[in-house]
Amino acid sequence: MTEKIILLNDGRSQAPAVPATLEAPTGSLRDQFARPLHDLRISITDRCNFRCVYCMPKEVFDKDYQYLPHNALLTFEEITRIARLFVEHGVEKIRLTGGEPLLRKDLERLVGMLAELRTVHGKPLDLTLTTNGSLLARKAQSLKDAGLQRVTVSLDALDDAIFKRMNDVDFAVADVLHGIDVAHKVGLGPVKVNMVVKRGMNEQEILPMARHFKDSPAILRFIEFMDVGSSNGWNMHDVIPSAEVVRMIGAEMPLVPVDPNYTGETAERWRYADGGGEIGVISSVTHAFCKDCSRARLSTEGKLYTCLFATRGHDLRALLREGRSDAEISSAIGALWRVRGDRYSELRTINTEGLAQGRDGKVEMSYIGG
């Protein structure tokens, strides 16, 4: 029997301390390294209808796997309340994720509630969502109508056999491509397409994917296979460095670097020299970008993580459900961000066997949200 080393939930989390003196949010919170709080990712379900081998491998996420019970999940009202407090601290961008966010019932109602929030500058939020695309064709119009602005769709191959091997539930490429088309048609573009590249699995798909999305409205981004969680059997030898991806594509379709849209953008941008659009590379292993990391993550059950590789969260749900005021919860969030010193990717060391050293018990991506 496979040994389950996965954290069903993060048993080390505690409710954060509420400071004795409450501080009103200034809209410009900074952490220990002067990094602002700009971006909030909210995981709205820990469930998924795919079993991507690098994220929710079937051997671990099998029929006996215990997902969170419904009453453990934050309600839409709780999510919106926390999101509003984060926005008052300076958050301008919210991404809904999971698990597969389109599996959460009545998601459109949550989108509608979040779309009403305004940044400290009085502007609408950049409200987006990451999905595996399986239900996108069906839901794109209602999500757009509810106020969603854009979507990112994950797609790891154009070849059906390879894609099915990666999603491990026999899901066909054509259905995801159809979802991307519908998203464009209803105005959820430009759609970003995320391709996780894993050596020995889908590197032969790099060029076909680049050719397919060149001259299309979608922006393809290549993501290095990351050592998130503890269940995906990560090894450095399976990582194809982004520099190699850029070299490979550039040799056939010349590329020119492009400036980032904003400080802290995760993807490094390149455009085709012939005007055929752009690609991005996300190099969290070979070229860490902690220095500008302005992202916080809220897990499905309301724990705040200040780093994707954290081993412990801060239980904001406990504060909500023990009846704390907005001022108390907001002060607790402010105090947490001010002491934040996370920079896991910069500090990660790899041993001679290709294994990442130094941190056990990292929470899973499907729980914390990608």
Which residues carry a binding-site annotation for GTP? 41, 95, 130, 192, 295-297
For residue 44, give the nearest of 117, 120, 99 by alpha carbon. 99
For ligand SF4, the binding residues in 47-106 under the rule CB under 6 A are 48, 50-52, 55-56, 98-100
Shortest distance in whole angstroms from residue 134 CB to ligand SAM: 9
For ligand SAM, the binding residues in 176-205 under the rule CB under 6 A are 194, 196
Of 157, 186, 223, 246, the residue at the interface with ligand SAM (CB under 6 A) is 223
Buried residues in 123-156 as b, exposed as e (16+ CB within 10 A): eebbbbbbbbbbbbbebbbebbebbbbbbbbbbb
Q: Residue 308 interacts with ligand SF4 (CB under 6 A)? A: yes
| Residues whose CB is less than 8 angstroms from the CB of residue 311 and which lie 6 or more positions away in sequence, other chains included | 10, 12, 359, 360, 361, 362, 363
Per partner kind, with CB cut-offs from 5 to 8 A, the member of ligand SAM, ligand SF4, none near residue 290 is ligand SF4
Q: Among the residues of 75-155, which ranges form H helices?
A: 76-88, 107-115, 136-146
Give the phi and the psi of residue 230 in degrees, each rounded to 5. Answer: -135, 10
Of 6, 53, 55, 363, the residue at the interface with ligand SAM (CB under 6 A) is 55
Q: Residue 134 interacts with ligand SAM (CB under 6 A)? A: no
- Sequence letter at residue 57: P
Looking at the Cβ atoms of 213 and 309, the one nearer to ligand SF4 is 309
Q: Residue 54 interacts with ligand SAM (CB under 6 A)? A: yes
CB 269 within 8 A of CB 259: yes
Give the phi and the psi of residue 223 in degrees, each rounded to 5. Answer: -110, 130
Q: Residue 132 interacts with ligand SF4 (CB under 6 A)? A: yes
Q: Residue 96 interacts with ligand SAM (CB under 6 A)? A: no
Contact region for ligand SAM (CB under 6 A) — 33-41, 77-85, 128-136, 174-182?
Answer: 128-136
Looking at the Cβ atoms of 191 and 210, the one nearer to ligand SAM is 191
| Residues whose CB is less than 8 angstroms from the CB of residue 293 and which lie 6 or more positions away in sequence, other chains included | 35, 264, 307, 342, 343
Contact region for ligand SAM (CB under 6 A) — 28-36, 119-127, 222-230, 240-248?
Answer: 222-230
Q: Residue 6 interacts with ligand SAM (CB under 6 A)? A: no
Of 158, 285, 366, 368, the residue at the interface with ligand SF4 (CB under 6 A) is 366
Shortest distance in whole angstroms from residue 335 CB to ligand SAM: 28
Which amino acids are annotated as binding site for S-adenosyl-L-methionine, given as ranges?
Answer: 54, 99, 154, 226
d(CA 322, CA 268): 42
- Sequence letter at residue 132: N
d(CA 147, CA 124): 10
Shortest distance in whole angstroms from residue 273 CB to ligand SAM: 27
Looking at the Cβ atoms of 232 and 330, the one nearer to ligand SAM is 232
Residue corresponding to tokens 């990442």: 356
Of 18, 135, 248, 290, the residue at the interface with ligand SF4 (CB under 6 A) is 290
Of 293, 298, 304, 363, the residue at the interface with ligand SF4 (CB under 6 A) is 293
d(CA 12, CA 251): 48
**Could you write out the DSSP letters of every residue in 1-34?**
-------SS-TT-BPPPPPSS-----S--B-TT-
Pairing of strands 295-298, 192-197: unpaired
Residue corresponding to tokens 């590249």: 197
Looking at the Cβ atoms of 232 and 242, the one nearer to ligand SAM is 232
Contact region for ligand SAM (CB under 6 A) — 129-137, 178-186, 304-312, 349-357?
Answer: 129-137
Of 48, 143, 239, 293, the residue at the interface with ligand SAM (CB under 6 A) is 48
Q: Residue 128 interacts with ligand SAM (CB under 6 A)? A: no
Per-residue DSSP letter, 191: P
Looking at the Cβ atoms of 146 and 285, the one nearer to ligand SF4 is 285
CB 148 within 8 A of CB 111: yes
Interacting residues toward ligand SF4 by CB under 6 A: 48, 50-52, 55-56, 98-100, 132, 154, 284, 289-290, 293, 295, 307-309, 342-345, 366
